[in-house]
Amino acid sequence: QVQLVESGGGLVQPGGSLRISCAASGTIRSINIMGWYRQAPGKQRELVARIISGGSTNYADSVKGRFTISRDVAENTVYLQMNSLKPEDTAVYYCNALVTVGIGAYDFWGQGTQVTVSS
């Protein structure tokens, strides 16, 4: 079994910065992809950013230039540095990982961390 534990959410003013992190633990052979999704009230969950095992990254257009995803491979941890935050960034942010366990790859989710951007 694999667990993803997020931390670092909270309340921040517009224009401010916040860093959230997600640590994976358990029976992990390798992590293929780690990423962040978010879900605002009344909206569908959407991809924010993801990082592939080779280091390439993808970002939603709405966060390009403001958010940076990074990963500590040795610690099985992914970070999301969020700068120039806007009220529309308010959402529950979920960590996601595609993990090879044994001979198969499986999708895992964290419990979510609330990010609120408000003055």
**C-alpha closest to that of 51 among 70, 77, 28:** 70
Please report, for residues 14, 22, 46, 90, 111, the alpha-carbon distance to residue 43 in angstroms, rounded to integers and kept in the order given: 21, 23, 9, 12, 18
pLDDT at 18: 98
> What is the distance between the alpha carbons of residues 46 and 49, in angstroms, rounded to a whole number?
9
pLDDT tier at 102, thresholds 50, 70, 90: confident
Instruction: Provide the β-strand partners of residue 46.
Output: 38
In tens, the pLDDT along 67-97 reads 999 999 999 999 999 999 999 999 999 999 9
pLDDT tens across 15-73, in order?
999 999 999 999 888 899 999 999 999 999 999 999 998 889 999 999 999 999 999 99
- Tokens representing residue 22 in the block: 């997600």
CA distance 84 to 117: 10
